[in-house]
Structure 1
Amino acid sequence: MIPDGADLDRDIAAEALTEHAVAPGSPLELLNRSENSTYLLTDAATGERSVVRVHRGGYHEHRQIESELMWLDALSADGVVAVPRPLEAADGSRVVTVDVDGAPRHVVRFEWVAGSHPEEDALGAADFHELGRITAVLHGHSREWPKPSGFDRFAWNWHTCLGEAPRWGRWQDSAGVGAGERTVLDRAQSLLRDRLSEYGSGHDRFGLVHADLRLANLLVDDGNLTVIDFDDSGFSWFFYDFAAAVSFIEDDPALPQWQDAWLTGYRTVAPVNPADEEMLASLVLVRRLMLLAWMGTHDHALEAQTKLASYAKGSCDLAEGYLRSGGRTLG
């Protein structure tokens, strides 16, 4: 039985590790607590490091996590990009399930990848150029890869982003959203719905994407680059990946330059249809409203603690620019 406590996820990780060939009592150091909790594990016997991810309860089913790992396998086998390798438990499984008072909690252990994240306060066009290039490479693989039987990842569509069943909650319930903010953001959401309905979700525009491909999910080590954190990967508009790339910094004055650099990088691998480019502002605003909702329900996350106070007002500023432009820009 896993005890209750402030660090329940650490207890879950420790329980799951009894299924792995690591020394009992090996230390776990919290790396990040956001949608999931991730820990640095250092094997007390060998000194080997790895990363343990404890999945939030009720977010992914077992087969959905297995499907994420299938894509990682394919990306690695096809030599597309470097990604972390999932590590097997003693019985060969890669997703260990721990019972917590009758509810399943899933845990995955990954190899340790050396490197550091690009610094957010030093972002430049070169960073976004590389991010655009990597995104195009992943999109190319996604379009061509035959999904295995039973492959199951959820969708980021209107219904689950801002519609009747928003996966991250309702932005209307977030801190800083009063009557005035609701009026502006409701108008913008109505225009978003119309624009995305016109754009559609055909196979050329909608498919398997990383869905959180921002610089915080890249590791760079002596010129070697690894893409991490495919936990939110699923089916969405391909160019939603640009919106994810500018998460939490959508109102930075440098956004137009970053967008140009991202598109230039993307075009080194694949063309960009004008209709796709025209939808970038809409997809950025979709993501912005989703993050407003997300921070309202994830007050333990660093982003919520540092950005939520001003995020509603910034969202309204973007929405007003979006409305003035008829849904074509945010400025």
Structure 2
Amino acid sequence: MYDYDLLVVGSANADLVIDVERRPAAGETVLGGDLAVHPGGKGANQAVAAARLGAATALLARVGDDGHGRLLIDSLRTAGVDTAGVLVGGAPTGVALITVDPSGDNSIVVSPGANGRLTPEDVRAADGLLRTSRVVSTQLEIPLETVVEVVRSLPEGGRFVLNPSPPRPLPGEVLAACDPLIVNEHEAKVILGDSAAGDTPEDWARRLLAEGPRSVVVTLGAEGALVAETRTETERRTDESGAGVGGGVGAVGGGVDVEVTRVASVRVDAVDTTGAGDAFTAALAWRLGTGATLAEAAGYAARVGAAAVTRRGAQESFPTGAEVEAL
């Protein structure tokens, strides 16, 4: 029934990376190292990361008819991604300008280019890809109306994963489809509003769940992740009468409980965090499609993200399944 474990609908960029001693303040100029050009973009990154882990993966995206576009398509095909859904033309390939400091932290500015021309019509034309994919994952480096169309085009039983990056307010229709919504601290606070977000990842997760997603994952960098899922009163009673439930449980009202579980990562020496969040999301989405629980999938994804930060670049840093198991 399914041709693909994962369909990624999203961006494909050329990453222009410069190492700096420190990231500049407003109005300041700093000198950096030599410019390096890498294939990137959250959509392409997720597709490559999943394929390197062993997932049957396809990408729906748009690139320009230029050197950066050819670089991206070559990288995708080398990783084993099905590029039948990669459309060419309409605008130059998107570009991300990335500065990386000695600790491995980065700052990123994105020029969307062709990513901004990925339309709802493109999604409807790719109905065959959506119908034959176990899980569909998107981000917000493509137009929001295109993400909405992905939600509306999901086949019955299809699972939708969203990393809302760069963050913005989301329509209820999109939030209700997320299973899970994957956010870091910054993304959680933008969606909720700083004053309403609360002080802890548990607060963010519970308040995000109250907005409508079926589940939420908060990424915590070197500390791993936190997963949160809603449980109905019937499910809670079933759990209490049988096996116990791991993690904390708190009510959000309306006869619904929230189960919150922290998932640890592994300690590594970080070299470059570029693309680590994309590797995490790809690994989690793939594992969910294989039948893993959300906590199990997040635990595996945390190991994948940890492996990715030990090497420079985005797609070049993504591990194989064997490398993850060796951590």
Greater relative contact order: 1 or 2 (C-alpha under 8 angstroms, separation 6 or more)?
A: 1
Structure number having the greater strand percentage: 2
Structure number having the greater helix percentage: 1
Could you tell me the TM-score, scaled by structure 1's length? 0.28
Could you tell me the TM-score, scaled by structure 2's length? 0.29
